[in-house]
Structure 1
Amino acid sequence: MTNTPEHDTTPAPTPAEIRRWRRYLADERSEAAVYRDLAARRSGEERAILLGLAEAESRHEQHWLALLGHHVGHPQRGTLRSRFLGFMARHFGSVFVLALMQRAESRSPYEDDDHATDAMAADEQIHEEVVRALATRGRNRMAGSFRAAVFGANDGLVSNLALVMGISASGVSNHVVLLSGISGLLAGALSMGAGEYVSVRSQRELLEASTPNAETRHKVPLLDVEANELALIYRARGMTPEQAEIKAARALDAPHQESDVAAPAPDVDEHEAVGTGLGAAASSFCFFASGAILPVLPYLFGLSGLTALVVASVIVGLALLSTGAVVALLSGGSPVRMALRQLAIGYGAAAVTYLLGMLFGTTVA
C-alpha cells in the first residue's frame, strides 16, 4: 500500500480507479454523516466517541479527494444502505444503526486496495471495535426485554403454525381449526407471560441474594484485629488464603476508609436482570400473541383447507425471516444465514406436526 498520494510521480488514474475512488469518497462522507447524526442524539462520552469516529472518516475523505484531484466531479450519493442508515440515525438513533455500522466497518475494502494507506485499513478495523463496544452498551440495556420479545414472537409463530397445521391435517372442520388456533394463541400467550414473569422475578431475587449487604462495610472498624473473619469473605470470593489475609489486613489498617467488603462478587453478571418481571411478562405475552395470530389470519378471513395452510405458511415464513434478520443485525451476524435458520426451524417443527396430524387423522378415521 502507498502511504501518501503522490500525483507528480504516479500515472493518471484509470476510469475504473476514478469510479472506485468516488464510491469510496461517497461512502466515507455517508459514514461520517451517520456518526454525526448519532452523536446529535447522544450526550457525554458516547457523543464524544461518535464525533471522533466522524472526524476519522473525514480524514479518509480527504485522502480520496487528494487522489481524485480534478477528477472528483460532482458529489455522489452514498449507497442505498448508507442512506438508509442515515435516515435511521437521524430519526431513531437506535442500537440497530450501530449494529449495522459495526458490520459495515468490518467489510472495509481498504485492506486489499493498494490506493488506501495502511493507516486507513487499520483505522477501519479499530472503528469496528469502537462501534462494537458502543453497540454492546445498547445490547446490554435491551437484553432482557429483547430476549423476551424474540422468544415470545418466535414461539408464537412456530407453535401456533404447528398447532393449526396439525389440527387441519387431521381432517377436522374449518371451525375447529380456527377455534384451536385462537385457543392456542390465548393459552400460549398466558403461559409465556406467566413463565417470563416467574423467570425474571426468580432471576432478580437470585441476584439480590448474591449481592453483599451494604451495611457490612460499616462493621469493619469494629472488628477484633486479632481474631476476625474478614479474610473469609475474600476467600469465599475466590482468593487464596494468603491473598485474603493480606487484603483483610489492609482493610483493618485503614478501617475508616471505604471498604470493598460489600462490593458485588466479580462473577455476578448484573445485566442479565435487565427489566422487571411485569415488563418481561407483558412483552412476552404481547409478542407471543402477535406471532400466534398470524397462522390464524387465513381462517379468520374465511379461507379453508389447503389454501389456508399455504397462506398461513407463507405469512409465518415471512415473519420468521424477519425475526431472524433482526436478531442477526443486532448480534452482528449474517442476516441471510440467521433468517434461513429461523425459517428452517419453524418449518421443520410445523412439518413434523402436520405429518403427525395426518397420521392421527387417518388412524381415527
Structure 2
Amino acid sequence: MTTDQPPAAAPRARTPRDVRRWRRNLADERAEGAVYRELAARRSGEEREILVALATAEQRHEQHWLDLLGDDVGRPLRGQWRTRVLAVLARRFGGVFVLALAQQAESRSTYDVDVDATAAMAADERIHGEVVRGLATRGRTRISGTFRAAVFGANDGLVSNLALILGVGASGVAPGTILLTGLAGLFSGALSMAAGEYVSVRSQRELLAASDPSPDASAAIGHLDVDANELALVYRARGLAPDEAQARADAALAASSASTEIAPSSVPDAHEEIGTALGAAASSFCFFASGALVPVLPYLFGVEGFAAVATSAVLVGLSLCVTGAIVGVLSGASPVRRALRQLAIGFGAAAATYLLGLLFGATVG
C-alpha cells in the first residue's frame, strides 16, 4: 500500500542578486573573524582563548557562504566599512571600546531574516553577541570608577562653565570679566570635583573594607568547637544558602588550618569596580578642567560679543555630542541617542542660566 507524498520543493534557483548578497556575507564574516583575531593577539589567557574560539566560529559561517557560492565566489570583497574600521581599531587599541563596538556589530546581524542563512548561524550570532558582551563587561568593570569620574567631570565642566559664561555675559559685563570668570570657574570647579571624588571614593572603599572578613576570625577557625560552632552562620550572613553555608563550614573545619580565610563566595571585587580615590580625583580634575576650558576658548583668542557666545555654544555642543556618543558605545546603547540626550541636557541648563543673566542684567540696568 502506498501513500501519496507531496513532492519535495525544488531548490531555489540562484540569481545574480543572491550571488552578490552571498559574497557580501562572506566578506563580512571574514572581516569579523579578523576583528576577533586582532583582539586575541592583544590579550592572553582565558580572554585570548575565547576570542580565538569566536574567530573559529566565524570560519564556519565563511564556509557556509563558500559552499553556496561554489565557482561564483569570485575575487574577495571588502567587508562593511564599520567592520573594517573596527578591525583597524582592534589592531591599534583593542580595549573595551572596541569590544563594545564589536558587541553592537553582532547585534546588527541579519541572519534571522536571511533565507539562505541557517537557524544555527542566526543562533550563533546571538550567542556571539552575549560572549562579546561578557568580555566587554569585564573591561567596563575595570574602568568603571575612573570612567565615571571622567565622564561626569567633562560634562560638568562643559555645562557649568558654559552656563556661567553665558549667564555673566548676558548681564552686560566686559569681555575681560567674562574671561576671568570662566577661568575662575574652571579652577574652582576642577578642584571641587577632584576633592569631592576623592572623598566619595575613599569613603566608599572604607565602607567596603569594613565589610571584609576579619583576619582574626579567619585565624580562629582551627580552634572552633566542632560540635557547636557558628561558622556556618558567618557564611549565611554573607549570602550563602543554609546547605551551602554548612558545607563551606564543614570544609573549613576539616582543613583545620589557621590560614583558611572567611570570604564571601562569588562576590566580584567591588574595590576594583569603584577604582582608587586618587585615580578618580585625578581623572575628575583633568576632565573637568578640559571640559571647562572649551567654552572659554573664544575669549582666550580675543573673540567678543555674540560671536564669542555662538562659538562657545557650538564647541560645547560638539563636545557634549562626543562624550554622549562615547558613553553610548561603551554602554552598548545607541551613540546617536546618547549624544542628543547629552546635548539637550547641557543646552537646557545653559539656556536657563543665560535667561537668568538677561533678567538680572535688565534689572540692574
Query: TM-score under structure 1 normalisation?
Result: 0.91
Deviation string 1:86-128 (CA, Å, 9 cap, x unpaired) is: 1111111111111011111111100001100011000000000
* Distance across 1 between alignment mates of 2:245 and 2:263: 17
User: Which one-letter code corresponds to 1:91 in the other structure?
Assistant: R
* Distance across 2 between alignment mates of 1:338 and 1:176: 34
Change beyond 3 A, Cα 1:61–1:235: closer
Deviation string 1:161-203 (CA, Å, 9 cap, x unpaired) is: 1101111111111111111100000000000111111111111
CA contact (8 A) 2:154 2:287 kept: yes
User: Which one-letter code corresponds to 2:181 in the other structure?
Assistant: S
CA contact (8 A) 2:219 2:260 kept: no
Change beyond 3 A, Cα 1:235–1:317: same
User: Which one-letter code corresponds to 2:163 in the other structure?
Assistant: A
- Partner of 2:159 in structure 1? 158
- SS for the counterpart of 2:209 is helix
- 1:79 Cα deviation from its structure 2 partner: 1.7
Matched, 1:53 2:54: yes
Change beyond 3 A, Cα 1:249–1:62: closer
Change beyond 3 A, Cα 1:243–1:29: closer
User: Which one-letter code corresponds to 2:133 in the other structure?
Assistant: R
- Partner of 1:289 in structure 2? 289
- SS for the counterpart of 2:136 is helix
CA contact (8 A) 1:110 1:120 kept: yes
* Distance across 2 between alignment mates of 1:248 and 1:28: 47
Matched, 1:349 2:337: no
- Partner of 2:43 in structure 1? 42
CA contact (8 A) 1:294 1:315 kept: yes
- Partner of 2:262 in structure 1? 262
Please, which runs of 5 or more residues in structure 1 have no aligned partner?
A: 1-8
User: Which one-letter code corresponds to 2:212 in the other structure?
Assistant: T
C-alpha RMSD of the superposition: 2.2
- Partner of 1:5 in structure 2? none
- Partner of 2:142 in structure 1? 141
- Partner of 1:131 in structure 2? 132
* Distance across 2 between alignment mates of 1:245 and 1:181: 58
Give matches, 1:186-335, under 5 Å.
186-225=187-226, 228-238=229-239, 246=246, 250=250, 254=254, 256=256, 262-264=262-264, 270-271=270-271, 273-335=273-335
CA contact (8 A) 1:161 1:350 kept: yes
Worse overlay, 177-186 or 68-77: 68-77
Please, which runs of 5 or more residues in structure 2 have no aligned partner?
A: 1-9
- 1:243 Cα deviation from its structure 2 partner: 5.4
- 1:259 Cα deviation from its structure 2 partner: 8.4
- 1:221 Cα deviation from its structure 2 partner: 2.3
- 1:299 Cα deviation from its structure 2 partner: 0.6
Change beyond 3 A, Cα 1:57–1:357: same
- SS for the counterpart of 1:84 is helix
- 1:36 Cα deviation from its structure 2 partner: 0.4
* Distance across 2 between alignment mates of 1:46 and 1:234: 31
CA contact (8 A) 2:40 2:51 kept: yes
* Distance across 2 between alignment mates of 1:310 and 1:49: 50
- Partner of 2:84 in structure 1? 83
Q: Percent same amino acid among aligned pairs? A: 65
- 1:260 Cα deviation from its structure 2 partner: 7.0
User: Which one-letter code corresponds to 1:314 in the other structure?
Assistant: V
- Partner of 1:363 in structure 2? 363
Deviation string 1:3-53 (CA, Å, 9 cap, x unpaired) is: xxxxxx634422221221111111100000010011111111111110110
- 1:261 Cα deviation from its structure 2 partner: 6.0
CA contact (8 A) 2:222 2:258 kept: no
CA contact (8 A) 1:200 1:273 kept: no
* Distance across 2 between alignment mates of 1:245 and 1:269: 20
CA contact (8 A) 1:198 1:277 kept: yes
* Distance across 1 between alignment mates of 2:259 and 2:245: 15
CA contact (8 A) 1:170 1:360 kept: yes
- 1:225 Cα deviation from its structure 2 partner: 4.3
CA contact (8 A) 2:252 2:260 kept: no
- 1:244 Cα deviation from its structure 2 partner: 9.2
User: Which one-letter code corresponds to 2:50 in the other structure?
Assistant: I
CA contact (8 A) 1:320 1:343 kept: yes
- SS for the counterpart of 1:110 is coil
- Partner of 1:3 in structure 2? none
* Distance across 2 between alignment mates of 1:246 and 1:130: 34
- The count of aligned residue pairs is 356
